Structure 1
């Protein structure tokens, strides 16, 4: 990989490690430590992800209009400020407000990181986006595995660790990203459209929205592991350290499982077929989770879920990059990241309401029904492109 991809990957790992001290434990902290209901926790996380959506869209547009360097500096300055204040004020009201602030600031960075990966290594294709995805999950593994242990001592240390790592990421950006930003091609695209006409742009954008409909459903389901399933594990006697270990399994398996992923993608060369396969594996994982009552079965389910997401998650920004017209790569990646944030926004609230009113078993049946939708969106998204 080019040196700039390595730089983006290292910075991503630091950033996500800091974030992963906090996000897997948000629901547990609000529900188990502060005594709030699952629906209330989901409501706060909805605002957090709503702010992330706004950050994704603004970050993507600023990438196209000004520069990657300035956009990341603005976003991470906001996120770092929020995390630093949270060290001293984390009762429910300031905690909720600061989560929204952090969501907005951190949200600005992600479309920029993915767009930069495609810009500095356009010939890398899926590999460029997969490098950022692997770096993200290495950060998840490190942050989650350490976070559970730290939280078992004191939640106060979690807030300190979160702020320190955000600060380190900001320093890395200040010291190294300016030169990389100068060398990127702001008009980079790998679009199937060589002419930037209004009709073709509209068709590509419609295709992106259809594709993202399936991504939204996947994230609604996936977000339950950070909210309702997280709280459920605590209710049945699985401790914080073991729950955090599930995310460590997730992150390390993604990093160590890249040879397996290459084996799959070498044989299943169609990106659409990769999404079909990945979605099927995700459905299998949730089917197993329905019956899990001990840590071992949760770990097996998480391992299967991880294989599914390894196949699906990098495929979507890759297709978005292919669809993007000239000079719109940042905006299209902002859409993808916003849809993921929307799933994380709706998921905890929807799941919390279902579990509070009914039970977690009904939630699993609802999720399995929803996960049928990505088959249709993946099949349909490029029909009009083919016709054009």
Structure 2
């Protein structure tokens, strides 16, 4: 892999490690420490994700116009300012304001990270996005495991730890990313409508694919919201719950290279990978829905992790292949904003279903969403001409 990609990988690990101190515990903090209902917690997370959707779209366009370095520095600066505020004022309602700002700042960062990864190693295909995906999950494993320990000692230290990690991320970006040379799309930006019109079918295909991608995220995010709170109610400790996410991240780091080898031998297309992944998601939620002990949720998390290894790296790869030259950031912004949109809708939907009905009803609805996602994945490229770059194996 190119040196520039390694710098992006290191930065992503530090970034997500900091975020993972807090995001798996957000619902628990709002519900248990601030004394708010699951529906209120869902609204707060929805506002955070809504701001992140705006940040993703803005950040993707920013990458195409001014490049990744400046976009990432801007996103980190906004996020760090909010984290410093949250460290000192993590009470209601200041918590809401800082969560919104954090959502917008982090939203700017991710499209540029993905677009830069694809640009600095174009010949790597899916491997570049796999590398960033693995880095994210290594950060999840580190942050979640440490976060559970820190939170058990003092929840207030979680906010400080997140802030310190973002200071480190800022230093890595300042001294490591400035020298990374990628095409920011400045030439295309001067005639921005031409590639969109010319590649309208590609854009429509991406939007259809992302509609199912959004539904997958609506379901997936329940593990950090309604399911996390439910585990507390049935006697699973905070350390045990955080351990689930440590397993998630560690398994991805260890198993992703093995999965890549298997997929290469099977010559599996990106579409087939995504469909298999969604099917595995369904099995995971069936297991979790029937679990009443930690061991059941552990099995469900392992199955969930296998499913996401099929899906999450595949969608950015399809988006990068569909993107016209100079619009890579915009297309990655769509993908990231879709995932964030799922994280926005998911907590509110899940919280309302649990508050009004039950956890069993929630799991039934989520399985229905996965079935719809399988249909959109099957149909997304029907209007496209045969395009080996998109539908064939990308390795």
Q: Please tell me the TM-score bracket, short chain as reference.
A: over 0.9
Q: CA deviation at 1:387?
A: 7.1
The list of structure 1 runs, each at least 4 consecutive aligned residues, that deviate by more than 6 angstroms after superposition, is none
Q: Which residue of 1 aligns with 2:115?
A: 115
Work out which of the residue numbers 215, 227, 230 in structure 2 matches 1:229: 227
Q: Which residue of 2 aligns with 1:191?
A: none
Structure 2 contact 83–102 (Cα < 8 Å) conserved: yes
The one-character-per-residue Cα deviations of 1:198-257 (angstroms, maximum 9, x if unpaired) are 654111110110000110000000000010000000000111111000000000000001
Q: Which residue of 2 aligns with 1:319?
A: 318
**Aligned partners of 2:282, 2:267: CA distance in 1, in Å?**
19
Q: Which residue of 1 aligns with 2:164?
A: 164
Q: Does 1:260 align with 2:239?
A: no
Alignment of 1:129-168 (within 5 A): 129-168=129-168
TM-score, reference length from structure 1: 0.96
Structure 2 contact 273–310 (Cα < 8 Å) conserved: yes
Alignment of 1:300-379 (within 5 A): 300-379=299-378
Structure 1 contact 221–367 (Cα < 8 Å) conserved: yes
Q: CA deviation at 1:187?
A: 4.5
**Aligned partners of 1:98, 1:170: CA distance in 2, in Å?**
19
The one-character-per-residue Cα deviations of 1:240-278 (angstroms, maximum 9, x if unpaired) are 111000000000000001233113311142111111111
**Aligned partners of 1:226, 1:61: CA distance in 2, in Å?**
29
Distance 1:243 1:197, change over 3 A: closer
**Aligned partners of 1:259, 1:338: CA distance in 2, in Å?**
27
SS of 2:385's partner is: helix
Name which of structure 1's ranges 196-205 and 310-319 shifts more when overlaid on structure 2: 196-205
Structure 1 contact 69–173 (Cα < 8 Å) conserved: yes
Q: Which residue of 1 aligns with 2:393?
A: none
Structure 2 contact 240–294 (Cα < 8 Å) conserved: yes
The one-character-per-residue Cα deviations of 1:147-194 (angstroms, maximum 9, x if unpaired) are 0010001111100000000110011101111110xx212349xxxxxx
TM-score, reference length from structure 2: 0.94
Structure 1 contact 118–128 (Cα < 8 Å) conserved: yes
Alignment of 1:81-92 (within 5 A): 81-92=81-92
Q: Which residue of 1 aligns with 2:2?
A: 2
**Aligned partners of 1:256, 1:387: CA distance in 2, in Å?**
35
Name which of structure 1's ranges 369-378 and 196-205 shifts more when overlaid on structure 2: 196-205
Q: Which residue of 1 aligns with 2:191?
A: none
Q: CA deviation at 1:374?
A: 1.6
SS of 1:372's partner is: helix
Q: Which runs of 5+ in 2 are unaligned?
A: 187-193, 388-395
**Aligned partners of 2:246, 2:355: CA distance in 1, in Å?**
28
Cα RMSD for the two superposed structures:
1.3
Q: Does 1:179 align with 2:179?
A: yes
Q: Does 1:75 align with 2:71?
A: no
Number of residue pairs matched by the alignment: 379
Name which of structure 1's ranges 2-11 and 196-205 shifts more when overlaid on structure 2: 196-205
**Aligned partners of 1:56, 1:199: CA distance in 2, in Å?**
22
